[in-house]
Structure 1
Amino acid sequence: MSDLITRTKPTPADVVSTLLAVPLVPVYYHPEAELVQRLLQACYAGGLRAFEYTNRGAGALAVFRELRAYTRQHLPDMLLGIGTVFTAEEAEQFIEAGADFVVQPCATAEVAEVCRQHRVAWLPGAMTVREVYEATQLGAALVKVFPGNVVGPGFVRALRGPLPQVRVMVTGGVEPTEASLREWFAAGAAAVGLGSQLFTTPNDPAALSQQLTDLLAFVKTLRT
C-alpha cells in the first residue's frame, strides 16, 4: 500500500481561494530535488500554502515528480504548481505529474485549453491591458502580471479602472520586504510571486521560515 496521503484534486476555484488567503507564492528552480524539498518544508512551516516550481532545466519534469511525491506525503495542504510553461505538451506532462496549477510567462490558447480540459488552474502572464483581458476571456483563474519590475505598481493600479473584477498575481521585481509588499498590495495585487531574492540563504531553512512568518503577518495588517 502506498504511504502517500491521498487528497481531492484542487479545482481552479480552490487554487484561487488559497492564493487569496495566503498571497505569497515562492517561484523557484533548482536541479536538486532534495534542496527544493527543504525549501518547500521551510515555506510550509512559514505559513505558505502554494509554491511554483519553474520549468527551466532539462530535468525539471523528473524533479517535479519527486517534489509532488514529497508534498503529498509530508505537506498535503501545499499546492504545487509549475511555471515557465509554453506548450500544450509541457502542460500535459506536468499536469499528469500532479501540477495543481500551471503558470505561463505569456498566454497561449493551447495551454489554456489543456488546463480547461483537466480542470487545472491556469495563470497566464500578461503585461498590457489587452493581454490581461484576453487571458480572462481564455479562462484564466488568475492573471500573472509579468514582469512586475517593468510595468510597475502604477499599471496594476490602473487596471482596476477598466478591469476591476480581474485578480492579478504580480511576479518579477517583487522583493521580500515590507516596503515592496506594501507597494504592490496597495496597488491592487491579489497575490505576489517571490523569486530568487527570497532564497538568498537556502541552507538556513529556519531563517526562511521565520522571514515568511513575519512577511505573512505584515500582509495581514495591510488587509485590515
Structure 2
Amino acid sequence: MKKNVVLKGILDAGVIAVIRGDSRDQAIKIVDAAVKGGIKIMELTMTVPNPLEMIKEAADKYKGTDVIIGAGTVLDTETARACILAGAQFIVSPSLDVDTLKLCNKYKVLVTPGVMTIKDAITALEYGVDIIKIFPANLYGPSVIKSFRGPLPQGEFMPTGGVAVENIHEWVNVGAVAVGTGSNLTKGAATGDYAAVENEARRFVEAYRKAKESK
C-alpha cells in the first residue's frame, strides 16, 4: 500500500488502535475485536512477544481490505526495517529518531515520531513527517495542540496516551487530525472479554465521528 494511501486512510479513519498484549495470540484477538468494532488502523507494538510474527500474521490476514497494519514502539532503524519487511504499512515511535525518519523516507513508508518539544516537532517537519505524535499526551492535555500550532500552523498532530471516549472531542476540537488509544480501548482483553474491546472500539469510532461533525 502506497504511503499516500496509508496517510489518507489514517486521516479518514481518525482512530488508531494501539495494540499491546501478553501474547501474540491475545494481541491478534484484540486486533480482530477492534476491527469488528469499526477501527481500521492498527498500531501493533514491539512490546508484544514475537512482534514481527504478529505483524506478518495481521498483515496477511487483512491484506486486500481497508484495514491498515502498522508497527509501534519502534526505537531504531533496525527494528523499523524489520517491521516494514514483515508487512507494516506505517511506523510509529515514542520519540524522535532522525535515522528512523531517514530509513522510512527511503522506503516511502509513513512514519510518525513522538515529540514533546517544539524543537523535535520542527525537526520532524524538516524530515517530511506528515503526522506528528504528541506523546505522552496525558501529560499535557488538549491545549498542547494549540500551543504547538501557534508557531507551527502547518503541523498535523496526533495525541496518544490518555485519549478516551469521554475526551476525544476535546482533542478533535483543538485540531488533532487523528488520535491513538491503547489501554482505554483494550482493557477488556485483560480478562478475555474481547466483546468489551469490540464495544469500546465502536464507541471510539462513533465519538470521533460526532466530534468531527460538530467541529
After TM superposition, the score normalised by the length of structure 2 is 0.90
Which letter does structure 1 place at the counterpart of 2:2?
P
Q: Corresponding residue for 1:10?
A: 2
Match of 2:181 in 1: 194
Task: Kindly state the Cα deviation for residue 23 of structure 1 after the two structures are TM-superposed.
Answer: 0.9
CA distance in 2: counterparts of 1:48 and 1:109, whole angstroms: 30
Amino acid at match of 1:22: A
Three-state SS of the structure 1 residue aligned to 2:180 is strand
Cα distance 1:219–1:63, how it changes in 2: closer, same or farther (>3 A)?
closer
| Residues 8-51 of structure 1, C-alpha deviations (whole Å, 9 max, x = no match) | x231x222211211111111222523222222122112221101
**Residues 187 and 197 of structure 2 are in contact (CA less than 8 Å); yes or no, is this contact kept in structure 1?**
no
Q: Distance in 2 between matches of 1:37 and 1:77?
A: 17
Q: Distance in 2 between matches of 1:48 and 1:174?
A: 15
Q: Gaps (5+ residues) in structure 2?
A: none
What is aligned with 1:121?
Answer: 110
Work out the CA distance in 2 between the residues paired with 1:200 and 1:108: 30
Instruction: Please identify, of 90-99 and 61-70, the stretch whose mean Cα deviation from structure 2 is larger.
Output: 61-70
2:79 matched to which residue of 1? Answer: 90
Residues in 1 aligned to 2:74 and 2:154: alpha-carbon distance in whole angstroms: 25
Q: How many residues matched? A: 211
The amino acid across from 2:100 in the alignment is: V
Residues 93-129 of structure 1 deviation map (CA, whole Å, 9 limit, x = unaligned): 1111111000111111211111111110010110111
Q: Does 1:29 align with 2:20?
A: yes
Question: What is the CA–CA distance in structure 2 between the aligned matches of 1:151 and 1:200, rounded to whole Å?
Answer: 23
Within the candidate set 93, 115, 123, 1:134 is matched to 123
Query: What is the letter of the counterpart of residue 116 of structure 1?
Result: N
- Structure-2 separation of matches of 1:62 and 1:220: 33
TM-score (norm 1): 0.87
Q: What's the offset of the Cα at 1:58?
A: 5.4
AA aligned opposite 2:124: A
- Name the SS for the 2:44 alignment partner: strand
1 CA distance for matches of 2:96 and 2:195? 36
Q: Residue 55 in 1 paired to residue 42 in 2?
A: no
For residues 149-203 of structure 1, give each alpha carbon's deviation from its aligned partner in whole angstroms, at most 9, with x where no partner exists. Answer: 112211111222221221111011212x23x112211222111110112112123
Q: Distance in 1 between matches of 2:210 and 2:141?
A: 22
CA–CA separation in structure 2 for the residues paired with 1:89 and 1:218: 37
Structure 1, unmatched stretches of 5+, are 1-8
Residue type matched to 1:158 in 2? S
The verdict on how the C-alpha distance between 1:62 and 1:163 changes in structure 2, with shifts beyond 3 A counting, is same
